[in-house]
Amino acid sequence: MKRKKNTASLIELTASKLDPKRLDSESLFKEVIEWNSINSLVLSVVIESEYGVLLEKEDYNNANTISDLEDIIRKMYS
Amino acid sequence: MSIIGGVRVSGIAAAVPEKRLIIDTLNSYSTSEKKQFIRHVGVYEKRTSNLKLTAADLCLAAAEGLLKDLGWAPNTVGALILVTQSPDQILPSTAIVLQNRLSLNESCLAFDINLGCSGWVYGLSVVGSLMQTLGIERGLLLTGETAVLTNEEDHRHFPLMGDAGTATALELSEDAKPMHFQFYSDGGRFQAIHAPNSGARHFANGGSEADLKYFAQMNADQVLRFCLLDVVSNIRSFMEKHAADTENVDHFVFHQANKLINEAMRKKLSVPEKKFPYSIGQFGNTSSASIPLTIVTQLREQMASEQTLLCSGFGVGLSMAHVLLKTENIKCLPLIEVKVPRQ
């Protein structure tokens, strides 16, 4: 995955901004984070600043886990 | 080249309703919803009006205060432009009513401009160029909004939008430094922020669905894309064109859209925090009033000295405009608070 230097992992980033109950790459992020319009906006901003891609509602609909989100971000680069 | 010369900004005033709405006290919101809103969207309180105190009333208070402080007799003002999306009525233009309420001469040109977030910068270009072209010595730009198009049930939009009215005084001056502008309009994305049934195209004619569509709606994905990609790159090109950078600009006064989005824009443009003032925490997103309100509440003392400001308004339209302003001795009044009449 193309990332800027010294970036934190998507899990660390998400955890730092959204106070999930617990989070690993297989966590269902829409369950461990209170999933609403503000939190999806926060996640989009974090992902854009770190990876330079802007996810949209459809991308979140197509993803269940953080690992799914990482796949979507990776595909945006290929 | 979008340059206006020979016109200076002489003074700025802002008026808000006295009544505060503290986000944390909203009963119909869950505790976590409020916590997230305050932390990320960045609004912890806003000023709130009612139907008895309109954007025009707030602008009037700001304009009266400003004229008095500048020592301008009302009959010396030859242009009055009001930028708002919450006019007192669709017809006539509210600015014409304000000509009379401010006791300006009948020879004064007066009309409304329907713009939101980008409105103060557009208004500055319209008033400035009209004054210069027509030889009008003094002009007033009013920008204001009350959240009449915001549905109280809309938990995303309602706590964000605040009420305010502002007045900016301009005068012809041979010594004035040129104002540099850049504009952008994209009607292809007009539905990113719109109030579908607020005008003639889909006139609301009863029924709860029609009523609901009277209110403004926002597509957060489209707005985020616009701000982080289009606005940021447009500002970058504007800065390059005018050799403006984070060193030679004293303050970047941006429309107060949403703290999360504004902070992301600030970081992308590498603007230091101390050069990027915010008023959103105390006043919310006040649409076209946000830039002058931020100047009045955050930069008032600095405005007495020479300053280079880069002001950027962006949002509903989709529309944006930036202006690079070299200002000197702008009279900035303390914030005016207006009592909210009983309904």
Average pLDDT over residues B5-27: 96
Q: Mean pLDDT across the stretch B159-173?
A: 97
The shortest C-alpha distance from A22 to chain B (Å) reads: 17
More confident residue, B258 or B214: B258
The answer as to whether A38 is a domain residue is: yes
Query: CA-CA distance, B282 to B279, in Å (whole number)?
Result: 6
Distance CA A18, CA B290 (A): 28
Give the whole-angstrom CA distance, residue A57 versus residue A75: 16
* Secondary structure E strands in chain B: 3-4, 7-17, 20-22, 45-47, 79-83, 109-113, 138-145, 164-172, 179-185, 193-194, 217-218, 251-254, 307-315, 319-327, 331-332, 336-338
Domain ranges of chain B: 3-177+333-338, 180-327
What confidence score (pLDDT) does residue A7 get?
Answer: 47
**Residue A1 is assigned to a structural domain of this protein:** no
Contact residues of B toward A, CB < 8 A: 32-33, 36-37, 40-41, 156, 220-221, 224-225, 228-229, 260-261, 264, 267-268
More confident residue, B44 or A28: B44
Backbone angles phi, psi at B43, to 5 degrees: -105, 120
Q: What is the CATH number of the domain that holds A66?
A: 1.10.1200.10
What is the Cα–Cα distance from A75 to B87, expressed in whole angstroms?
47
Predicted confidence (pLDDT) per residue in B282-292, tens digit: 999 999 999 99
Strand partners for B5? none
Architecture of domain B180-327: 3-Layer(aba) Sandwich (3.40)
Check B224 against A42: CB less than 8 A apart.
no
Q: How far apart are CA A62 and CA B71, in angstroms?
A: 62
Mutation target to probe the B interface, by most B beta carbons within 10 A, among A36, A40, A47, A58 is A36
Report how far residue B244's alpha carbon sits from residue B275's, in angstroms, rounded to the nearest whole number.
13
Asked, colleague to colleague, whether B3-177+333-338 and B180-327 share their fold, the answer is: yes
Q: The whole model's pTM is what?
A: 0.92
**Nearest by CB to B156, which of A37, A42, A49?**
A37
pLDDT tens digits along A7-66: 458 888 888 888 777 788 888 888 888 888 888 999 999 999 988 999 988 999 999 998
| A10 or B314, greater pLDDT | B314
Q: What is the mean pLDDT of chain B?
A: 95
Domain with A18, as residue range(s), is 10-77
CATH of domain B3-177+333-338: 3.40.47.10
Note whether residue A25 is domain-resident. Answer: yes
pLDDT for position A5: 43
Q: What is the pLDDT of residue A10?
A: 84
**Subunit contact A38:B264, Cβ cutoff 8 A:** no
Cβ distance A42 to A17 under 8 Å? Answer: yes
Looking at residue A77, its pLDDT comes to 73
Residue B244: count of CB within 10 angstroms of its CB: 18
